[in-house]
Structure 1
Amino acid sequence: MTEISTLIVDGILAVLLVSVIVVCTIVYRRLGTIKSGQAELRALVDQLNTAVVDAQRSVANLKTSATEIEGRLQIEGKKASAIADELGLITEAGNNLADRIERGLSGATAAKKQQAPAETSASKKQQEEILAALREAR
Structure 2
Amino acid sequence: MSKRRELSEEQQKIAKFEKVLRGYQTWQAAVEDHNIDTIRVGDEEYCFYDILDGIKTLPPRQRQAFDLIVIEGKKEVQAAREMGFQRWSTPVQQYKNIAVKKLWNFQQQQARLRRVTDEAS
TM-score by length of 1: 0.25
> Greater relative contact order (Cα 8 A, min sep 6): structure 1 or 2?
2
TM-score by length of 2: 0.28
Structure with larger Rg: 1
